[in-house]
Structures are given as structure tokens and as C-alpha cells.
């Protein structure tokens, strides 16, 4: 099966050990390599095929002496075939390979990264192998189930630090005293994509786990104090995961390194986790709470991978969610355990639960378990389905099985598959064994079919019964032709009864008999623990709206109700004005996370009417009225004793007052900004809000000030913040200047899109023109490995909502190289179509609703 796919390797030759020696050369950005690979051969063969990309194999031998007749590269499939003079008999054999490669600037494989020391530009090198780029650093059997033991050796300049997965055990210095040879201890059996090494000038701080293993956090010179926070988080969470999973951390040390150039947020390489600087470094004085949250979230996510992914690895990328979905569930658990006042599970609803539902509402979604056969297809599934839906269905399952049974199941799973590989079914089996419940039967429906159900609910007060029906929810309102059906562990909550009711729904329709008398309100899916939406009857929804305005509904339920309402409006289940009417019940809301959803609802509705109309002015004033009391309550300065989330709410209120056109807020932001650039203080927690408002309404003078701030930024957080501001000017001439700067040498490739993404409504079209005009530049910059970046660009026009724009985008994608990102293109186009349909359907309705509202007032 696997052998029919030309990207996959045969199972005739299986590696068990690699000795790899690499010598990077920072003068010409190349490296030389030498490796010995111990393989087991099943059936006699004279050809061995393994993965290699952009490597030049200079020498290959089997069993010392059996030279090659032919070395054939297959560029497309990223393989190399070594044809030996003598046939290799079955059994254990050694391959010897000499090779050369490039230290590339594409942030994948073995790549170079630059940093400044005393005003001088220096070079280092690092690796990023997931998913399929180990083959760019050494020829290997680059598939996750071909685990082996690795011995790594790096020859590097004396003054540089060299790190790898394991501790170094000897460092002989070369006779010329220029180089050193760093040899690392043997790894445990592991997958190729988790191998890593870093060569650069680095400084560290250090702590120790309970059993005295060193944990070090590293950064390029001058930044080591910024490593403190991440170290605290790591020490906490290693302990936390060891206890939860009942399995100790498997390696003798852990290093975490902030790299100046990095393709994603972080990478869980076993024992050597690498990060983008903004995902690891915290400047104690100048950092925002949002940034500390981000660092904790990323560190805990990568630490969770040391078990989920590293210790037990997916058998093939189809089961990638076993890595990413779990790390995305276990991460927040550890963050919540360490920082209970952050209220992360409420934030989770906004940051994982809704993105999962959103992504899975498209026709062009995919099942969690999806067949992937080549590097492009693999890269494409590092998305909201794998991460967020994967996480959310774990949460659903834990609710259903209970914390105890779920954790016992996980321990069983780790015990059975450690240092090996597993599939989704293997996990269900372990959880089934631990819980005695039919886990596969429930979960397969969420991992093997795409989409999720919407449950329509009608409460018959007289008969005291609840009538339910499920069907697939799709944004375009289309009917599900494949008749997907889910098992839904339904929960229900009423205003009268503290206990939740439960009902296991397995058919399309169900009638649930309620035994209590008619209730004031009934909320289905309390706590949003299940992966489905609910479409209530108008009668039920109006009772829920009353519960909202009276503050009777729990926080997460208030959020869930509102998100469902706007999604249902988009999909034509309900009128948009019904969603807006529900929104009005949220006027006296005080919870930050609910406010984010209100903000979301207002932004979506605002887009349904044209910007230069009288109705839009009315809408702006409606939106301002919403935020005003909160903005006044929280002001611009921290209030002693305020809740952690009020810190975020203040910034949200300022942003929205400004964005919806409140002149006082804009003026106040300007005052804060000018005091800041003149050396005054500016609270890091409102700094982003202030920057963006000033930029949006600013001119050349402000632009120059932001350039200065960018050039003088002392923390990675501040540089990114100023870049975003630079990309947010409404003035079209300035905006064009910003985009030019984005493409210049001044901005690292990893940061360029920060400026592009942050263009706002007014300049959105210009940004899209710019992206189109520079498509080839971006392709060259990010190359094929930079699909994550290219996907960001492909998604840029997803907010468009006119037929003309749709045709333009379609034409562009049809005539340009978007290879390997087919699904991203389809999703973008589907979103635009859905925007158009919603706008055409609801525009007048919203305008009428506004007229009615405003005529009552006068
Ligand atoms: N394994 C990924 C890194 C990765 C992403 C490798 C895409 C190859 C392709 C890592 O564990 C990860 O998921 N990082 C996230 C951060 C996390 C907190 C969601 C990232 O980089 O954004
Ligand atoms: Zn991950």
C-alpha cells in the first residue's frame, strides 16, 4: 500500500541507528555531512531508496566497500536511490554516506539565522524538520514510524554553542583551535522529524526538575533575562504532565531556544524545543499580559508534545491530530493549573472552540483523519481542524468519560505505545478499556466524517417535551447530501435545576421528556462541551435572551448562544435581525470573553452594510453605545484589584470606541502616544490599542515616529507591535510606503506578513493589489516550505464580499502558482461566496432594523 505512493518508502529496508556528523560553513552557507546508517534488509536488493532533498551525495557505500553503480535523485518525490555494485543480502547492513547541502534562508531543513552582537551582524544555524524536512539536512528514512536511535556530532566554531536533542558528552577541540567537535549522547528511539540541532552564540538561564534534570532557556546575546518567565512555566508544567500522564519526561535534559528567524511559533523537537522569539521571551518591564499568556500557552503546548507526539508518535500524518489536537488540549490544562485567575477555559471558547466550528462549517473542510500522501498535503493539515477541532473533541470526550477515566486511558495509551507509534483507533481502544464506554462508536463520527451537527430544538410546554433534530451545519445553508449523522452526548441546563440533564442522541430525531414543570429557560450544550450548534425555536431563544439580560445564564453559555446566533444567521437558519435583537440583551455585559463575542457579532453585522451610507453611521453609533459604559468604567489606567481579564477588556473597549469612531478616544490615544514617544510611560497592556488607533488616524509624522520605535525596539514584542502599527495606516500613500518597507531588508521574512495582515478595512483592497503584484516575490521569499506564510496570503481576501472581488480573486488564483495549497484556495473562495450571499440576503433587513431603532429614539 505505502509502496505504491512514490513519496513513501518501501518497508524492505528499515533503519535502526544513525550516526550523523555535520560541519556547517558560515562563510558560504553550506554544510558537509557524513553518516552511517544501520539498516535491516528484509529481502535481498541492490537498490536502497531513501529521502533526500537539495542534498548532493558525494559518496555512498554499503558494508564498507560495496560502492554504488548509480545514484539517482528524484527531485519531485524527494528521494534518492542508491544502486550498489553488489547485491545486499537480507540482515543487518551499514550504509556510509558523504554529502553536501545548503544552509538555506527558508527557515526549514538546516537553515541560517542572523542576529546582532555589539552592532555587528552574526550568523548561526538551526533546524526545522517537521513535517518532511529532515531530508534537507541528511539522507534519511523520513517517515514518522521509522524510528531510530540517533548519534549526532557537530563540528562548529569554538565560540559557538552547539545544542541537540541529547546532552553533549565530549567536546574535543581541533588541533588548530578554531573548531570543536561536539558529540551528543545516543537518543532514545525517535522519529526523524523530531531531530534537531542549533549552532549559534547563545546565553542561558537554568533550573532543575524535581529529579534534577537541567532545564535551560537560551537566547542570542543580551536577552537571557527575558528567558525567566518561560523557565518558570516549563518547570511547572513538566511536573504537571508527569503527574497527569503517569509517565516521567523521557530525556535527561531539556533546552528551549529562542531563534531570531523561525517559521512558526515553536517546534517540539525532543529535548530541544525551538521558538520564535516572541513566543518565548518576556521583557519583565515592558511585556503585556497578552504576551505572557502567549508564551505560557506555547511553552505548555510544546511540552505536552514531549509526550503526545514525541514519546508516542502518529503512525502516519493522517493521525497528525494525535499530536496537535492533544497538545492543543493539554496545553491550556497546564496553563490553567498554573494561572487559575487567567480564566483560560473561557478564553478557549473564543480561541479554539469557535475557530474549530468556523473552519468545519465550510464545504471545503476535511475530516480530522484524512488521507495525505505528499509533503504539500501534509503541510496543509496543520490547520484549525487538526489543532482546534482535535482539541475540542478531546474536551468533549473528557466531559463524557469523566476526568478519572480519561486520564487512566491516557496512561494506558502511553504505556502501551511509548517509543512507538499509534493510530486514532489505538487511542480509542485505550480509552474504551479504561472507561468501559463505547468510545470508538462516539468518536469515529467526529474524526472520520467532516463537519458537525446543528441540533434544532423545539420545546413543547404543554407536553413538557423537547423535540430535537440533527443535521450537518454548513455556512452556505446547503443540505447535507451524504446524510451524515453524529452521536451527540447532549447536556441541557434549565433556570430552575442546578443539575444538568443528559441525553445521548444517536438518531436524526429525538424527543426528550422533561420531568420538571415548564422552565424559565433551557440551554442546550451548557459549558459548550459538545461539538455542535443549537438552533432554538423563537420562543426558546427569547426566554434565553431574558436570562442573558438578567445575568442568569453562565458566562460560557452567553458566549455560545451569541456565536451560534450569528452563525445561524449567516447560514440562513434565522434572520440576521434576530441575531441583532439577541445581541441587545448583552448591553450590560461585564465579562471580557463575552465582550469579544459581542465585538465579533458587531463586526460581522457592520460588514453587511456599505461603509459610506447613512445606515452605516447609525450602525457606528449603535456600536459605540454598546462599548461606552465599559470604556468609561475601565478608563485608561489600571484599577487596583481588578480582575486579570479586565486588563484585556480595557484594551478591547478602547479599540472598539476608537474603531467605531469616537473622537475623544482617538484624541486620548494620541495624547498617550505622544507622551510615550517623548519618554513617558505607556502601559504595555493598552499599548497595542493606542498604537493601532494612532496609526489608523495618523499621517507622515506618526509614521516616522513608528519607524523610530521599530528601529529602537529593545524587545521582540515591541518590534512586532510597531510593525503592526506601521501596517495599519488608513492613508493610502503611507500604506503603500509601509508595504514597501515590509518587503525590504529592514524586516525579517518571518515578520513581513505582520504588516500585510494588519492593513484594515479601508486599505484592504490596496493590500490585496500589493500581494497580487508581488506574488512571485513572496513565493521566492518563502519557497515551497513556506506554505504557512503563503496560506496566510491566500486567506487575505477571505473577507471580501462583492461579486467583482470574487471574480478578481478567482482569476488570480487560477493563473498563479498556488500549488500545494488547493484547499486553502477553495476555502478562501467559499468564504467570499458566503459573505456575498449573506450580505445580499441581509443588507436591507439590517438597514430596516436600524431605521426602526433610530426612529424610536427621536
Ligand atoms: N508542531 C508544531 C510546529 C509546526 C507547525 C511544524 C507547522 C510544522 C508545521 C508546534 O507544536 C506548534 O503547533 N506550534 C504552534 C504553537 C501552538 C501554541 C499552537 C505554532 O507554531 O503556531
Ligand atoms: Zn504542536
pLDDT band at 38 (very low <50, low <70, confident <90, very high): very high
Is the pLDDT assigned to residue 186 strictly greater than 90?
yes
Yes or no: say if 650 and 686 are a contact pair by the CB < 8 Å rule. yes
Across 159-163, average pLDDT: 96
Q: Which of 258, 265, 383 to mutate to test the pocket of ligand 1 (most atoms within 8 A of CB)?
A: 265
The rounded distance, in Å, linking the Cα atoms of 160 and 172 is 14
Q: Using a CB cutoff of 5 Å, list residues around ligand 2, an ion.
A: 324, 327
The rounded distance, in Å, linking the Cα atoms of 329 and 635 is 35
Mean predicted lDDT score pLDDT of the chain = 95
Tens of pLDDT, residue by residue over 20-37, are 999 999 999 999 999 999
Residues 6+ apart with CB under 8 A from 105: 29, 111, 112, 261, 749
Following DSSP, what letter does each residue of 498-520 receive, concatenated? SSPEEEEE-SSEEEEE--SS--S
Q: Whose CA is nearest to atom 17 of ligand 1?
A: 298
Give catalytic status of residue 143 as yes or no: no
Q: Whose CA is nearest to atom 13 of ligand 1?
A: 324
Which of the ligands is closest to the CA of residue 789?
Answer: 1
Catalytic residue among 302, 351, 589, 830: 302
Tens of pLDDT, residue by residue over 252-296, are 999 999 999 999 999 999 999 999 999 999 999 889 999 999 999
The rounded distance, in Å, linking the Cα atoms of 2 and 65 is 31
Yes or no: say if 313 and 147 are a contact pair by the CB < 8 Å rule. yes
Following DSSP, what letter does each residue of 93-136 receive, concatenated? EEEEEEEEEE-BSSSSEEEEEEEEETTEEEEEEEEE-TTTTGGG
> What is the reported pLDDT for 764?
86
Q: CA-based Rg of the chain, rounded to a whole angstrom?
A: 28
Task: Take residue 426 and report the three cell numbers written for it.
Answer: 489505538
Which atom of ligand 1 lies at the shortest distance from residue 265's CA? 21
Yes or no: say if 227 and 219 are a contact pair by the CB < 8 Å rule. yes
Q: Is 392 in the pocket of ligand 1 (CB under 6 A)?
A: no
pLDDT band at 684 (very low <50, low <70, confident <90, very high): very high
Tens of pLDDT, residue by residue over 608-627, are 998 889 999 999 999 999 99
> What is the reported pLDDT for 858?
54
Across 371-385, average pLDDT: 95
Strand partners, 587: none
Task: Take residue 263 and report the three cell numbers written for it.
Answer: 517559521
pLDDT band at 477 (very low <50, low <70, confident <90, very high): confident
* CA 718 to centroid of ligand 2, rounded, Å: 25
Tens of pLDDT, residue by residue over 541-557, are 999 999 999 999 999 99
Across 392-412, average pLDDT: 97
Q: Please state the pTM of the whole predicted model.
A: 0.97
Distances (CA, A) of 457 to 79, 471, 648: 55, 12, 35
* CA 749 to centroid of ligand 1, rounded, Å: 18
Across 635-663, average pLDDT: 97
Tens of pLDDT, residue by residue over 553-610, are 999 999 999 999 999 999 999 999 999 999 999 999 999 999 999 999 999 999 999 8
Is the pLDDT assigned to residue 1 strictly greater than 60?
no
Across 390-418, average pLDDT: 97
Q: Is 668 in the pocket of ligand 1 (CB under 6 A)?
A: no
Is the pLDDT assigned to residue 324 strictly greater than 90?
yes
Main-chain phi, psi angles of 297, to 5 degrees: -65, -45
Is the pLDDT assigned to residue 461 strictly greater than 90?
no
Residues 6+ apart with CB under 8 A from 375: 7, 78, 131, 132, 820
> What is the reported pLDDT for 242?
97
Q: Whose CA is nearest to atom 4 of ligand 1?
A: 267
Q: Whose CA is nearest to atom 15 of ligand 1?
A: 265
Q: Is 265 in the pocket of ligand 1 (CB under 6 A)?
A: yes
Amino acid at each position: 500500500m505505502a509502496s505504491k505512493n512514490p513519496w513513501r518508502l518501501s518497508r524492505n529496508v528499515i533503519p535502526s541507528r544513525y550516526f550523523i556528523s555535520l560541519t556547517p560553513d558560515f562563510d558560504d552557507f553550506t554544510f558537509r555531512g557524513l553518516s552511517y546508517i544501520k539498516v535491516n534488509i528484509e529481502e535481498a536488493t541492490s537498490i536502497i531508496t531513501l529521502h533526500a532533498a537539495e542534498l548532493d551525495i558525494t559518496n555512498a557505500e554499503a558494508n564498507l566497500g560495496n560502492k554504488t553503480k548509480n545514484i539517482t535523485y528524484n527531485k519531485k518525490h524527494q528521494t534518492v536511490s542508491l544502486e550498489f555494485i553488489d547485491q545486499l543480502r537480507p540482515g543487518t547492513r551499514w550504509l556510509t554516506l558523504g554529502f553536501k547541502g545548503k544552509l538555506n534562508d527558508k527557515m526549514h531543513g538546516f537553515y541560517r539565522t542572523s542576529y546582532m552582537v555589539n552592532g555587528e551582524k552574526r550568523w548561526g544555524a538551526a533546524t526545522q524538520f517537521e513535517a518532511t524536512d529532515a531530508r534537507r539536512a541528511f539522507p534519511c528514512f523520513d517517515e514518522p514510524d521509522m524510528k531510530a536511535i540517533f548519534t549526532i556530532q557537530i563540528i562548529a566554531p569554538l565560540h559557538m554553542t552547539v545544542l541537540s536533542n541529547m546532552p553533549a558528552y565530549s567536546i574535543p577541540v581541533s588541533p588548530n583551535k578554531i573548531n570543536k567537535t561536539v558529540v551528543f549522547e545516543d537518543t532514545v528511539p525517535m522519529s526523524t522529524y523530531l531531530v534537531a540541532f542549533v549552532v549559534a552564540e547563545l546565553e542561558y538561564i537554568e533550573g532543575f526538575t524535581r529529579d534534577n534534570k537541567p532545564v535551560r532557556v537560551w537566547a542570542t546575546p543580551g536577552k537571557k533575562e527575558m528567558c525567566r518567565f518561560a523557565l518558570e512555566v516549563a518547570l511547572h508544567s513538566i511536573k504537571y504532565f508527569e503527574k497527569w500522564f503517569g509517565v516521567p519526561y523521557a530525556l535527561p535534559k531539556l533546552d528551549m531556544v529562542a531563534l531570531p528567524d523561525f517559521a512558526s511559533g515553536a517546534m517540539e523537537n525532543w529535548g530541544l524545543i525551538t521558538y520564535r522569539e516572541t513566543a518565548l521571551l518576556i521583557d519583565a518591564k515592558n511585556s503585556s499580559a497578552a504576551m505572557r499568556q502567549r508564551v505560557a500557552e506555547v511553552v505548555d503546548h510544546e511540552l505536552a508534545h514531549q509526550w503526545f507526539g514525541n514519546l508516542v508518535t502518529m503512525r502516519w500524518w493522517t493521525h497528525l491530530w494525535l499530536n496537535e489536537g492533544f497538545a492543543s488540549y493539554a496545553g491550556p490544562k497546564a496553563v490553567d493549573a498554573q494561572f487559575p485567575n487567567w480564566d483560560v477555559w473561557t478564553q478557549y471558547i473564543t480561541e479554539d472552540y469557535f475557530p474549530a466550528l468556523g473552519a468545519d462549517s465550510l464545504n471545503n473542510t476535511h475530516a480530522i483523519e484524512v488521507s495525505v500522501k505528499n509533503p504539500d498535503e501534509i503541510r496543509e493539515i496543520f490547520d484549525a481542524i487538526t489543532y482546534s477541532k482535535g482539541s475540542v473533541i478531546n474536551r468533549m470526550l473528557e466531559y463524557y468519560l469523566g476526568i478519572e477515566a480519561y486520564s487512566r486511558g491516557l496512561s494506558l495509551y502511553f504505556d502501551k505505545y511509548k517509543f512507538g507509534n499509534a493510530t486514532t483507533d489505538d487511542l480509542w481502544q485505550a480509552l474504551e478499556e479504561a472507561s468501559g464506554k463505547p468510545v470508538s462508536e462516539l468518536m469515529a463520527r467526529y474524526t472520520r466524517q467532516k463537519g458537525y451537527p446543528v441540533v434544532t430544538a423545539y420545546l413543547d410546554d404543554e407536553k413538557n417535551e423537547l423535540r430535537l433534530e440533527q443535521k450537518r451545519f454548513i455556512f452556505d445553508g446547503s443540505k447535507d447530501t451524504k446524510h451524515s449523522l453524529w452521536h451527540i452526548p447532549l447536556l441541557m441546563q434549565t433556570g430552575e435545576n442546578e443539575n444538568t440533564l443528559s441525553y445521548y442522541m444517536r438518531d436524526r430525531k429525538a424527543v426528550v421528556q422533561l420531568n420538571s414543570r415548564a422552565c424559565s429557560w433551557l440551554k442546550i450544550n451548557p459549558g459548550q462541551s459538545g461539538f455542535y450548534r443549537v438552533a432554538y425555536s423563537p420562543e426558546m431563544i427569547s426566554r434565553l435572551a431574558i436570562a442573558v439580560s438578567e445575568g442568569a445564564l453562565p458566562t460560557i453559555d452567553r458566549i455560545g448562544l451569541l456565536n451560534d446566533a450569528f452563525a445561524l444567521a449567516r447560514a440562513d437558519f434565522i434572520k440576521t435581525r434576530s441575531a441583532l435583537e439577541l445581541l441587545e440583551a448583552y448591553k450590560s455585559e461585564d465579562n471580557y470573553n463575552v465582550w469579544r463575542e459581542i465585538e465579533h457579532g458587531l463586526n460581522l453585522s457592520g460588514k453587511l452594510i456599505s461603509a459610506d451610507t447613512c445606515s452605516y453611521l447609525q450602525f457606528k453609533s449603535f456600536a459605540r453605545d454598546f462599548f461606552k459604559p465599559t470604556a468609561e468604567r475601565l478608563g485608561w489606567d489600571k484599577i487596583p484589584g481588578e480582575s486579570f481579564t479586565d486588563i484585556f477588556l480595557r484594551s478591547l473597549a478602547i479599540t472598539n470606541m476608537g474603531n467605531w469612531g469616537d473622537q475623544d478616544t482617538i484624541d486620548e490615544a494620541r495624547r498617550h502616544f505622544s507622551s510615550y514617544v517623548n519618554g513617558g510611560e505607556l502601559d504595555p497592556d493598552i499599548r497595542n490599542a493606542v498604537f493601532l488607533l494612532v496609526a489608523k488616524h495618523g499621517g507622515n509624522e506618526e509614521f516616522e515616529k513608528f519607524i523610530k520605535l521599530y528601529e529602537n525596539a529593545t524587545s521582540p514584542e515591541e518590534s512586532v507591535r510597531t510593525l503592526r502599527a506601521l501596517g495599519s495606516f488608513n492613508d493610502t500613500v503611507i500604506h503603500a510606503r509601509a508595504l514597501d518597507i515590509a518587503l525590504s531588508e529592514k524586516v525579517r521574512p518571518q515578520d513581513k506578513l505582520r504588516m500585510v495582515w494588519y492593513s484594515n478595512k479601508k486599505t484592504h483592497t490596496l493590500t490585496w493589489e500589493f500581494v497580487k503584484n508581488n506574488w512571485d516575490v513572496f513565493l521566492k521569499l518563502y519557497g515551497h516550505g513556506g506554505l504557512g506564510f503563503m496560506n496566510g496570503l491566500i486567506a487575505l481576501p477571505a473577507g471580501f464580499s462583492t461579486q467583482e472581488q470574487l471574480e478578481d480573486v478567482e482569476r488570480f488564483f487560477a493563473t498563479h502558482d498556488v500549488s500545494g495549497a488547493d484547499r486553502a484556495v477553495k476555502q478562501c473562495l467559499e468564504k467570499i461566496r458566503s459573505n456575498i450571499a449573506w450580505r445580499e440576503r441581509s443588507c436591507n433587513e439590517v438597514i430596516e432594523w436600524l431605521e426602526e431603532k433610530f426612529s424610536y429614539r427621536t
